[in-house]
Amino acid sequence: MSFPWLTVIGAVPVVGAAVVCAVPAALVKLQKQVTLGVSLLTLALTIAMATQFAPHGDRFQFNQSTSWIPAFGIHYAVGVDGIALVLILLTAVLWPVVILASWHECESTKRSPKTYLALLVAMETLLIGVFAATDVFLFYVFFEAMLIPMYFIVGSAGTPRSSYAAIKFLLYSLFGGLLMLAAVIALYVFGGHTFLYSSLIQNLHLGTNNERWLFLGFFIAFAVKAPLWPFHTWLPDAAAESPVGGTVLLVGVLDKVGTFGFLRYCLGLFPHASHWFTPVVLTLAVVGVIYGALQAIGQKDMLRLVAYTSVSHFGLITLGIFAFTSQGQAGATLYMVNHGFSTGALLLVIGFMIARRKSRGINDYGGMQKVAPVLAGTFLVACLSGLALPGLNTFVSEFLVLVGSFTRYKVAATIGTVGIVLAALYMLILYQRTMTGPVSPDVEGSHDLSLREKWVIAPVVAIIVALGFYPRPILDAITPAVSATLQQTGNTDPAPAVPLAAVPAAASATAIPGGSS
C-alpha cells in the first residue's frame, strides 16, 4: 500500500489543534510556536507529495478508499487531480503565513489565543478534506463542517458588527448547504446507491428535469461560497469585520471551494444541465465582474474594497469555467491560485497598516511611502498584481480566461475586459490615496515593516513574481484535469478561425516556434 499522503496531511493540523488546546493557557508563546510548527510541517508534507504527482499519469492520484458507512454506500475516499493539488498547495502555503501574521493579533481577539489558534489549524484540515474528497458525501461533510471554525473566526474580532457578519455568513452558507444536501441525497437514489465520484460519473443517468434540479442544488451552494453575484452579499461584511488573518483565509482560500465545486461537481456530474444553464451563469458572471469593480471604486473601507474586488475576480473565474474551453478552464484554475496569493498579499499589508493606524478607512492614510517605504513597496506589488500587470502572476490567468472565453462567447469576454480596465482604476486609487501625497498627521510616526512582517510578506511577493514569469509547473499539473473535465462535458476546443493550412508557408515558419520554410 502506498503512503497515505492525503490522510496524513489532513490529520496533522487537527492533531496540532488538539496539542494547542492541551498547552496551558498561560504559555501563549508556546501555543503560537506549536501552531506555526504544525502549519510548516503540513506545508513540507504537501510539497513532498506534490513532487511525486505525475501530471500525465492517472487523473486521480494518492488515492485511498475505505468503506465508512456500508449501509449507505459512503466511503472515506480521497485523491487529487491537478486542480485539487494546486488548491491544496495554495492552502498549505498561506496557512503558516497567516499564523505568523496573526502572531500578535490572536491576543487582541475576544477569544483566547489558544482558542483562536486552534480554530485556525482545525480549519486547514477541513479545507484540505474538501479539495481531497472523492466521495460526494464526504465532500459534503467537509463542506459543511468548515463553516463551524470559520463562523467563530469571523466573530472573533469583537467589533460591534462582527457577530452580525458571522451570523450572516453562517446563514447564507447553511442555506446553500441545505440545497446541496437535498441534491446529494438524490444523487444516492439515482446513482446506484453510491457516493463515489468515479462511480457516479460512469453510472449516473438522469432525466433532463432531474439533472437540472440537481445542478441547481449544487450550483447555488457553490455560488454562495464563491462568491458569485448576487449571492455575494455576506462577503463584504465578513471580510471587513473578521480579524485580518481570518479575512486572508476567507478571501484567499475558502472562496475557492465554490469555483472548485463548479469544475468538479457541476460540470462533472451534470454536463447537460451545465450547458443548458450556461447563458444564465455567464450573465451572472459578467454582471459580477462589472458590479464588483464599480462597488470597489466607491469604497472607503480598505477591507470592503478588497472584498468587492473578489466579487469581480470571481466573475471572471466563473466566466472561464463556463466557457468550456481548455484555455478558459486552465486560466480559471490558475486564477484561483493567483487570486489567493495576490489578494492575500494585499490583505496582509492592509493588516500591517491597520495595526499601526487602528483604522480601515482609506482617508485615514496618506503619504505612507515616505515613512514606510518597504511597506509601500510591497503594497505596490500587491496592487499591481491585483490589476494584472504583465510580469506578475494574475496576468497570465486573466489572459487565458479572456482568450478561452472569446472563442465561444465574444460579448461576455468583451464585458470581462471592461472589468480589467476598472481593476486598474480601483487599485491605483487605493494606492494613491494611502501611499502618496502629503504625509497624514496620523501616520507620521508609523514604522516600517518589522522583521516578522518581512518574513510574512516576502514569500507571498516572491510567489507573485515567480508565477508571473513561470506559471508552467501549475499549468502542467492542471491541464490534464481540465482536459478530463472537458471530455466529461462533451466539449472540445473550437477550431481556429483561420486554419493553419491557409497561412502562407513563410508566415507559418516565422509564427510557429521551430517552424521552417
Q: Within its chain, how far is the Cα of 81 from the centroid?
A: 16
DSSP 436: S
- Single-letter amino acid code for the residue at 403: V
Residue that is written with C-alpha cell 464599480 in the block: 294
**Mean pLDDT computed over 252-264:** 90
Based on DSSP, count helices (H) and strands (E) in the chain, helices before strands. 23, 2
- When pLDDT is averaged across residues 373-384 and rounded to a whole number, the result is 91
pLDDT at residue 111 is higher than 60 = yes
Mean predicted confidence (pLDDT) in 473-482: 91
At residue 380 the predicted structure's pLDDT band, cuts being 50, 70 and 90, is very high
- Would you tell me the crossing angle of helices 393-406 and 410-435 to the nearest 10 degrees? 160
pLDDT at 237 over 90: no
d(CA 392, CA 170): 35
Write down the pLDDT at residue 497.
Answer: 61
Mean pLDDT of 83-102: 92
Decide if 147 contacts 130 (C-beta within 8 A): no
- C-alpha–C-alpha distance, residues 106 and 109, integer Å: 6
Residues in the chain: 517
> Which DSSP helix (H) or strand (E) runs through 5?
helix 5-22
267-318: pLDDT as tens digits: 988 999 999 999 999 999 999 999 999 999 988 889 899 999 999 999 999 9
Query: Which SS3 state, helix, strand or coil, does residue 13 take?
Result: helix
Give residue 498's pLDDT band: very low, low, confident or very high (50, 70, 90): low
426 grid coordinates: 480601483
- Assign 420 a pLDDT band (cuts: 50, 70, 90): confident
Please say if the pLDDT value at position 499 is more than 70.
no
pLDDT exceeds 60 at position 513: no
pLDDT greater than 70 at residue 510? no
Distance CA(243)–CA(103), nearest Å, equals 12
Q: Report the pLDDT value the prediction gives residue 511, as an integer from 0 to 100.
A: 40
Q: Is the CB of residue 482 less than 8 Å from the CB of residue 330? A: yes
What share of the chain has pLDDT > 90, as a percent?
A: 42
Q: Where are the domains of the chain?
A: 291-495
pLDDT of 505 reads 47
Q: What is the pLDDT of residues 161-200, one digit of tens each?
A: 888 888 988 998 898 889 999 999 988 888 778 888 888 8
pLDDT at position 371 is 85
State how far the Cα of 40 lies from the Cα of 430, in Å rounded to an integer.
33
The dihedral through the CA atoms of 80, 85, 89, 90 has a sign that is: negative
**Integer Cα distance of 427 and 387 in angstroms:** 7
Cα separation, 204 vs 134, in Å, equals 15
Computed on alpha carbons and rounded to an integer, the radius of gyration of the chain in Å comes to: 23
Least confidently predicted of 55-64, 393-402, 488-497: 488-497
Question: Quick one: average pLDDT of 368-389?
Answer: 89
Q: Residue 39 CA to chain centroid, in angstroms? A: 18
In tens, the pLDDT along 446-472 reads 888 889 889 989 999 999 999 999 999
Write b or e for each residue in 37-56: b if 16 or more Cβ atoms lie within 10 A of its Cβ, otherwise e. ebbebbbebbeebbeebebe
> For residues 79 and 28, which has the higher predicted lDDT (pLDDT)?
79
pLDDT, residue 334, reads 93
Q: How far is it, in rounded angstroms, from Cα 118 to Cα 179?
A: 30
| Backbone phi, psi, residue 294, to 5° | -65, -40
Residue 84's pLDDT is 93
State the chain's mean pLDDT as an integer: 87
Q: What confidence score (pLDDT) does residue 504 get?
A: 52
pLDDT band at 85 (very low <50, low <70, confident <90, very high): very high
160 contact partners, CB below 8 Å, separation of at least 6? none
Residue 354 C-alpha cell reads as: 491597520
- Rounded mean pLDDT of 217-233? 90
Residues 6+ apart with CB under 8 A from 34: 16, 19, 20, 23
pLDDT of 483 above 50: yes
Residue 508 is predicted with a pLDDT of 41
pLDDT value for 436: 84
Tell me the C-alpha distance between 348 and 103, whole Å: 13
Render pLDDT for 122-153 as a digit per residue (tens, 0 to 9): 999 999 999 999 999 999 999 999 888 888 88
Q: Residue 153 has which C-alpha cell?
A: 473566526
Helix axis angle for 302-321 and 393-406, nearest 10°, is 40
**What is the model's pLDDT at position 79?**
92
Q: What's the rounded Cα separation, in Å, for the pair 208 and 259? A: 24
